[in-house]
Chains A and B, each alone.
Chain A
Amino acid sequence: MKKFLAAAAVSALCATGALAEVKVGMITTLSGGGAGLGIDVRDGFMLAIAQSGRDDIEVVIEDDQRKPDIAVQLSDKMIQSERVDVMTGIIWSNLAMAVVPAAVNQNVFYLSPNAGPSPLAGKGCHQNYFNVAWQNDNLHEAAGAYANGAGYKNSFIMAPNYPAGVDALTGYKRFFDGDLAGEIYTELGQTDYAAEIAQIRASDADSVFFFLPGGMGISFLKQYADSGIEKPVVGPAFSFDQGILQAVGDAALGVVNTSQWNKDIDNATNAAFVESFQAEYGRLPSLYASQGFDTANLLLSALDKADPSDADAFREALRAAEFDSTRGDFSFGSNHHPVQTIYAREVIKEGDVFTNKTLGVALENHADAYAAECKM
């Protein structure tokens, strides 16, 4: 009976003409080394779509293999053949830079569930581009702010030698008031950090900040824990996420990291999300899953008000961001990037599972540093 009512409601809405069939294109990484992140975004996104009960939304999902040229090709396919209204899904900044500018210029809306490269927040911002995760610098800035609060005066900072790595160190330095005991750019994809750890040991640093996404972070944390150096470590959530924490193990225990989301953030939406995600997929949700979930809910909230074919109305509906976010308060700044609170959290062990516990706020209602450059 319930099912019937829902179906009736949907058909009633359709009959009024407020809603037509909506097509969403998701390009994300589903094969190869970085597939875990894409799978989480997809699962979070699809969970929200399923929970909405709407059957007038078609999601086309494609695997970019983490290759920019494949992503561009898929984006052409989404726009030319599938004729999607909205695109989403890309995990990596370099892929986003390859796809987003061209897509939004072809009047497609793009909702970023993960990457937030600075050009898209600043000079290259676009009215059809919305970032539902963070601007790339945000979590690093929060790490800098947390380090001030923790009383660190002299940090040793490191990141891979590529644009997101440079942004990370810039972000940390933007908020960190202390001195730098060392600043190192490592090789992208590096797996052995013995040389860097030796430098940390030899330095007079009182803390270490690092941004090493994926396998790089796992390697560094294990080697750092084994080195016996006692200097505290801070980093963005990417190296302490649910997906990879189990692979780091004890080495991550007690490490403080910054995140805009955690599974213990106290609101009804989040509690329901964590529970239903676990029930559906049999694992704890990650940061990326929460971002996928929020992205879908933002989209759903806008679809309730307007149809993408009415671009101006739909854009306004997106900008209002009237949805219940898993992270609590959420709104867009003038450049369509989030204004949100970023938390410090600590890695703990719950039974056999490594996970995070929120310690407190690192940056309250934080916007990004590039909004002023955006002329929209």
Chain B
Amino acid sequence: MSSILIIEQILNGLQFGVMLFLMAAGLTLIFGVMGLINLAHGSLYMVGAFAAAAVAGATGSFLLALVAALAAAALAGAIVEMVVIRRLYKAPHLDQVLATFALILIFSEGTRWVFGSFPLFLDIPDALSGPVTLPGGIEYPLYRLTLIGIGLAVAVGLWALIERTRLGIRIRAGENDREMIAALGVDISKLYTLVFALGAALAGLAGALVGAIQSVQVGMGEPVLILAFVVIVIGGIGSVRGAFIGALLVGLTDTLGGVFLPELFKLFMDNGAAQKTGSALASMGIYVLMGLVLIWRPTGLFGARA
């Protein structure tokens, strides 16, 4: 296996990782600030992708599609927060799991009701399509490079938002002591709606960006949701930094495991059997990673509380 291929695969893992980060960041913020487990986060990802596909189909503009995805997901998030989620903050985790499980059902079948049963079309904008040649002669799709760039930019932006702005101070305060910041006169319910909408918008953005190179279909959010949960558990629930590290770890493990495990098994198996065994183990790889991390550190890499 050539070093070019290895570098390309590492880039692929990175790209997968930063997209997972967009999902995981919202999930972990929502848990950190409100203490809520939101299984319906994957539905917001789907809402973003469908909104983008609908707007791109109507206007032909990818930029407008991204704006629509952000807006639709944020709006859906804000509505869900005000109608349903708000009543669950004090409820046990169990009720949260059940209520957001119910939301998945409503979102998925509701989307199918509106958009029909067939996948929608969403394509990469012309300006970003096709491969570029990187130093060292690596050919790599420009769009995927852009995704890595956007993901990193969002990570930096989130960091700045949380560490450097007034809203960030409130978010951090909300994580540490809810009663206190309410007593200080911060409108806590507005803050919660805002954080939830922010998390939803990030998920919607990820849905739209990824939707351009994947299939925009009902149920697309659920596999990503599970992965995003794995990410935030590895990183430590509530920690945005942990979500970033966790996302990269999961992205790299999944991509590189899928490539190198079959190669490894080829050393002592015949080709077909090695492929099957290797890819079977690779699909379990991230869960093994998560198990190992939790056995080593029961609250994740950067987690403070359970």
Contacts of A39 in B (CB 8 A): 117
Distance, CA A216 to CA B119, complexed state (A) = 11
Say which residue of A31, A166, A192, A202 sits within 8 Å of B16 (CB atoms).
A192
A219 touches B214 (CB 8 A): yes
Q: Does B109 contact A (CB under 8 A)?
A: yes
Q: Across the interface, name the chain A residue whose C-beta is closest to B143.
A: A226
Additional pairs, 11, CB under 8 Å, beyond known A33-B217, A191-B214, A247-B216: A161-B280, A187-B279, A191-B223, A195-B13, A195-B259, A201-B8, A218-B217, A223-B141, A223-B213, A244-B215, A249-B123
- Cβ-based interface call for A268 (8 A): no
Contact between chains at A228 and B218 (CB < 8 Å): no
Contact in complex: A192, B279 (CB < 8 Å): no
Q: Which residues of A contact B119 (CB under 8 A)?
A: 36, 215, 218, 244, 247
Inter-chain CA distance A248–B139, complex, in Å, is 23
Supposing A183-B275, A194-B12, A198-B5 touch, asked if A246 and B118 sit within 8 A by C-beta, the answer is yes
Q: Which residues of A contact B124 (CB under 8 A)?
A: 222, 226
Cα A1 to Cα B164 with chains together (Å)? 82
The yes or no answer to A32 lying at the interface (CB within 8 A) is yes
Interface residues of B in 22-50 (CB under 8 A from A): none
**CA gap between A218 and B123 in the complex, in Å:** 11
Which parts of A76-122 form the interface with B (CB within 8 Å)? none
Give the interface of A toward B (CB within 8 A).
31-33, 35-36, 39, 161, 166, 183-187, 189, 191-192, 194-195, 198-199, 201-202, 214-216, 218-219, 222-223, 226-228, 243-244, 246-251
Interface assignment of B272: CB less than 8 Å from any CB of chain A: yes
Q: Contact check, B214 vs A247: say whether CB atoms are below 8 A apart.
A: no
Least CB separation from B216: chain A residue: A247
A366: shortest Cβ distance to chain B, in Å? 25
Judge whether A244 and B8 touch: CB under 8 Å: no
> Is B9 touching A198 in the complex (CB atoms < 8 A)?
yes
Choose among B5, B9, B119 the residue with the greatest number of A CB atoms under 10 Å from its CB: B119
Q: Please determine whether B279 and A161 come into contact, CB atoms closer than 8 angstroms.
A: yes
Nearest residue, chain A, Cβ from B8: A198
- B139 near A201 with CB under 8 A, answer yes
Q: How far is the CA of A201 from the CA of B223 in the complex (A)?
A: 27
Q: Which residues of B contact A199 (CB under 8 A)?
A: 5, 259
- Is A202's CB under 8 angstroms from B5's CB? yes
Interface residue? B282 (CB, 8 A): yes
- Do B215 and A219 touch across chains, with their CB atoms under 8 A apart? yes
**What separation, in Å, do the CA atoms of A218 and B120 have in the docked complex?**
10
- The dominant DSSP class at the B interface is helix
Choice from A161, A201, A226 contacting B213 with Cβ under 8 Å = A226
- Tell me if B139 and A228 are in contact (CB < 8 A): yes
* Contact of A195 with B258 in the complex, beta carbons under 8 Å: yes
Given contacts A244-B118, A247-B118, A250-B123, contact A31 B214 (CB under 8 A): no
Tell me the minimal C-beta distance from A60 to chain B in angstroms. Answer: 21
Please tell me if B172 contacts chain A, counting CB pairs below 8 Å: no
Q: Report which residue of A161, A195, A222 has the largest number of chain B beta carbons within 10 angstroms of its beta carbon.
A: A195
Please, what's the 1-or-0 string for B208-222, where 1 marks a CB less than 8 Å from any CB in chain A?
001011111111100
Distance of A201 Cα from B11 Cα, bound (Å): 15
Which residue of A has the minimal Cβ distance to B257?
Answer: A195
- Of the candidates A33, A227, A228, the one whose C-beta lies within 8 Å of that of B219 is A33
Q: Contact size class for B?
A: 35 or more
Q: Name A247's closest neighbour in chain B (CB-CB).
A: B119
B225 CB to closest chain A CB, in angstroms? 13
Are B118 and A218 in contact (CB-based, < 8 A)? no
Cα of A199 to Cα of B2 in the assembled complex, Å: 10
- In the complex, which residues of chain B have a beta carbon less than 8 angstroms from the beta carbon of A218? 119, 214-215, 217
B223 touches A194 (CB 8 A): no
**Closest CB in chain B relative to A188 CB, distance in Å:** 8
Closest to A222 in B: B213
Interface contact A36-B276, CB-CB below 8 Å: no
Contact (Cβ within 8 A) B131 A227: yes
Interchain CA distance A202-B283 in the complex, whole Å? 23
A369 to chain B, nearest CB (A): 18
- Enumerate chain A residues within 8 angstroms of B283, measured Cβ to Cβ: 161, 187
Q: How far is the CB of A122 from chain B (nearest CB, A)?
A: 20
**Nearest A-chain residue to B275, judged by Cβ:** A185
Instruction: Report whether B219 and A192 are in contact in the complex, using a CB–CB cutoff of 8 Å.
Output: no
What are 7 of the A-B contact pairs (CB < 8 Å)? A33-B217, A161-B279, A184-B262, A195-B12, A219-B214, A222-B212, A226-B130
Chain B residues in 8 Å Cβ range of A214: 215, 217
Does the CB pair A33–B141 fall under 8 Å?
no
Are B215 and A32 interface neighbours, CB within 8 A? no
Using A161-B280, A194-B144 as known contacts, say yes or no to A228 and B131 having CB atoms under 8 A apart: yes
What distance in Å separates the Cβ of A91 from its nearest Cβ neighbour in chain B? 12
Residues of chain A within 8 A (CB-CB) of B109 are 31
Task: Tell me which of A186, A198, A227 contacts B279 (CB under 8 A).
Answer: A186
In the assembly, what is the distance between CA of A199 and CA of B216, in Å? 25
Contacts of A35 in B (CB 8 A): 112, 117
Task: Using CB atoms, name the residue of chain B closest to A203.
Answer: B5
Q: Contact at A202–B215, with CB atoms within 8 Å? A: no
Instruction: State A39–B130 Cα separation when bound (angstroms).
Output: 36
Q: Tell me the complex Cα distance, A244–B214, Å.
A: 12
Instruction: Name, among A39, A186, A222, the residue most crowded by chain B CB atoms within 10 Å (CB to CB).
Output: A222
CB neighbours (8 Å) of B275 from chain A are 183-185
Distance of A32 Cα from B214 Cα, bound (Å): 18
- B120 contact from A166, A192, A247, Cβ within 8 A: A247
Cβ contact within 8 Å between A243 and B118? yes
Chain B residue with the shortest CB-CB distance to A242: B118
Of the candidates B108, B213, B215, which one forms a contact with A247 in the assembled complex, judged by CB atoms under 8 Å apart?
A: B215
Residues on the B chain within 8 Å of A251, using CB? 123
List the B residue with the shortest CB-CB distance to A228: B131
Within 8 Å CB of A244, what residues of B? 118-119, 215
Interchain nearest-CB distance for A66 vs B (Å) = 10
Taking CB atoms and an 8 Å cut-off, the chain B residues in 263-280 that contact chain A are 271-272, 275-276, 279-280
